[in-house]
Amino acid sequence: MHMATLTEADLISIRRSLHRIPELALNEFQTQAYIEEFVQRLACPWLTVKHVEAVPTALLVHLAGTAPRRTLGYRTDIDALPVEEKTGLPFASNHPGVMHACGHDVHMTVAMGILAYFATNQPRDNMVFFFQPAEEAEYGGKRVFDAGAFTGEWHPDEFYGLHDNPALPAGQIATRMGTLFAGTTEIHLTFTGKSGHAAFPQKANDAIVAAAAFVMQVQTIVSRNVDPVRGGVVTLGTFHAGTIGNVIAGAARLDGTIRAFRQTDIEMMQGRVRQIADGVAATYGVRADLKLIQGGYMPVENAPKQTADLISYMKQAPGVDFDGIAPAMTGEDFGFLLQQFPGTMVWLGVNDPEHSLHSAELSPDEAALKPGVDAFVGFLTHRMEEA
């Protein structure tokens, strides 16, 4: 196993520096500057940097190979969440109300460790590293793809990435053939009726009654339209209506999410949400304004050939702790890139079983950093030796 050029202490220091400066989707300017300064310090003669005008916080790095037959892509997300950190760590977020509560600081650090290795040991194949803004919102991967950034020598033949998992032991790599994460769709719905005095319902049109009917009827989508063997989720997380108890509400707003492992199921569920919204509007004489936004949040479908090779490599590589794992209903916009380029996403265990992703108290175990780097340096070196 090749050891990365960054020591464990280096990786921990980078991760803590990044953890202090979390930024929200499409506003990752300080984070991007930190990464770019790191890249320039590598002073690597076979390295090129690229910016994307349409997505200013994106950063791509190209490494020229010694005898390239393909281009291997590696992606990390760089944005954070609107969460007030409650870890009490000495290197906690110094941006109020923003936190790396999903571990993207870990993702970036591992990517920088892999990059540092191949910037010191020139790879055989070409490589493209994609430091991607806006994974949590605004689907940055799709935006950068749509801007034409992955063309010519920046076109990866294969794409890899990881996501940290607090439920797994530190440093463990886990993935599966097929779908790893669900695709998702945001639901934003407003019913508009007519407000009025509670004593005169005949002169008003109650948006709460209509919205309540919608809430109950969408429960049938998963129970009666989705194949029970495949599963799906329709969750409504907000319901806002009315101002006072003796006034009939003229409007009601709902927000939610659709999730499923297959794109065909997601599209069917979107259609049912639309039908039910329209049906409720017709039944109660209200207006329904529905927005369904999928953006880049397609199911994360691991490509058969690359994933079989990754699993077989990780299972036998010395020092790698590998395990298979069931799919999860979490969403990840790497799913969009995996629809364009074959590749694989894996979990990296970060051993914080008390806290879930997006928790204000999430504290990944930094012992995961070096094993994550070493596993991918080894695997990508192995990929370059494959025909």
Q: Is 374 a catalytic residue?
A: no
195-252 pLDDT, tens digit per residue, is 999 999 999 999 999 999 999 999 999 999 999 999 999 999 999 999 999 999 999 9
Domain-embedded: residue 310:
no
Of the candidates 114, 105, 181, which has an alpha carbon nearest to the alpha carbon of residue 345?
181
What's the rounded mean pLDDT across residues 5-15?
Answer: 96
316-369 pLDDT, tens digit per residue, is 999 999 999 999 999 999 999 999 999 999 999 999 999 999 999 999 999 999
Nearest-5° angle of CA 98, CA 96, CA 359?
Answer: 40
Q: Looking at the structure, tell me whether residues 257 and 186 fall in a common domain.
A: yes
- Cα 149 → chain centroid: 19
Structure confidence at residue 210 (pLDDT):
98
Q: Tokens representing 74?
A: 């590696």
Q: Looking at the structure, tell me whether residues 64 and 161 fall in a common domain.
A: yes
Structure confidence at residue 71 (pLDDT):
98
Q: Tokens representing 326?
A: 């069931």
24-82 pLDDT, tens digit per residue, is 999 999 999 999 999 999 999 999 999 999 999 999 999 999 999 999 999 999 999 99
Q: Which domain holds residue 279?
A: 182-293
Q: For the chain, how many helices (H) and strands (E)?
A: 10, 16
Round to whole Å and give the CA distance between 108 and 11: 10
pLDDT band at 1 (very low <50, low <70, confident <90, very high): very low
Q: Are 115 and 41 in contact (CB under 8 A)?
A: no
- Cα 238 → chain centroid: 22
Domain-embedded: residue 176:
no
Is 44 marked as binding a ligand? no
pLDDT of 3 above 60: no
Q: Is 105 a catalytic residue?
A: no
Q: Looking at the structure, tell me whether residues 34 and 137 fall in a common domain.
A: yes
Amino acid making up residue 182: A
Q: Looking at the structure, tell me whether residues 32 and 130 fall in a common domain.
A: yes
Structure confidence at residue 386 (pLDDT):
80
Q: Looking at the structure, tell me whether residues 215 and 237 fall in a common domain.
A: yes
Domain-embedded: residue 330:
no
Domain-embedded: residue 298:
no
Q: What's the whole-model pTM score?
A: 0.94
Domain-embedded: residue 300:
no
Domain-embedded: residue 64:
yes
Q: Looking at the structure, tell me whether residues 207 and 284 fall in a common domain.
A: yes
Of the candidates 373, 360, 326, which has an alpha carbon nearest to the alpha carbon of residue 160?
373
Domain count of the fold of the chain: 2
Fill in the DSSP letter of residue 377.
H
pLDDT band at 253 (very low <50, low <70, confident <90, very high): very high
Round to whole Å and give the CA distance between 353 and 326: 17
pLDDT of 2 above 70: no
160-202 pLDDT, tens digit per residue, is 999 999 999 999 999 999 999 999 999 999 999 999 999 999 9
Helix (H, G, I), strand (E, B) or coil at 366: helix
Spatial CB neighbours of 205, under 8 Å, sequence gap ≥ 6: 193, 194, 196, 248, 250, 284, 285, 286
Active-site choice (77, 158, 265, 333): 77
Domain-embedded: residue 322:
no
Round to whole Å and give the CA distance between 284 and 193: 9
220-236 pLDDT, tens digit per residue, is 999 999 999 999 999 99
Of the candidates 216, 220, 219, 210, which has an alpha carbon nearest to the alpha carbon of residue 190?
210
Q: Looking at the structure, tell me whether residues 222 and 273 fall in a common domain.
A: yes
Is 95 marked as binding a ligand? no
Q: Is the dihedral of CA 105, 346, 55, 127 positive or negative?
A: positive
Other Cβ atoms less than 10 A from the Cβ of 153: the count is: 12
Structure confidence at residue 5 (pLDDT):
84
Active-site choice (23, 135, 136, 352): 136
Is 186 marked as binding a ligand? no
Spatial CB neighbours of 153, under 8 Å, sequence gap ≥ 6: 62, 71, 126
